[in-house]
Structure 1
């Protein structure tokens, strides 16, 4: 394998790893938002229940 091809292959591997990392972070962020929203609704519902 020539040096240029090796460099291109390494760059592709690094880019796909970075893309995977970004996707994972986005998934975690979305899960975190859903959890926060669920918690907010749970507290909101509990407060509404207590006000009866």
Structure 2
């Protein structure tokens, strides 16, 4: 069950990293939003991991 919960977040994080890395021509404001989204997604992964450890 934990894999089913974590997998979508891992996919989103990986996709965001690829877009940020491969698209340097993007506007700085858009890159910042993508980085913010990546950080939030990583935070969600950590919270989920902690919650799953408790159960």
TM-score by length of 2: 0.53
Alignment size in residue pairs: 30
Task: After superposition, give the CA deviation of every residue in 1:1-52 in whole Å (9 maximum; x if it has no partner).
Answer: 001000000000000000010000000011xxxxxxxxxxxxxxxxxxxxxx
TM-score by length of 1: 0.56
Which of these two proteins has the greater Rg computed from alpha carbons?
1
Instruction: Kindly report structure 1 stretches of 4+ aligned residues shifted beyond 6 Å.
Output: none
Gaps of 5+ in 1: 31-52
Gaps of 5+ in 2: 1-25
Higher relative contact order (CA 8 A, sep 6+): 2
Structure with greater proportional helix content: 1
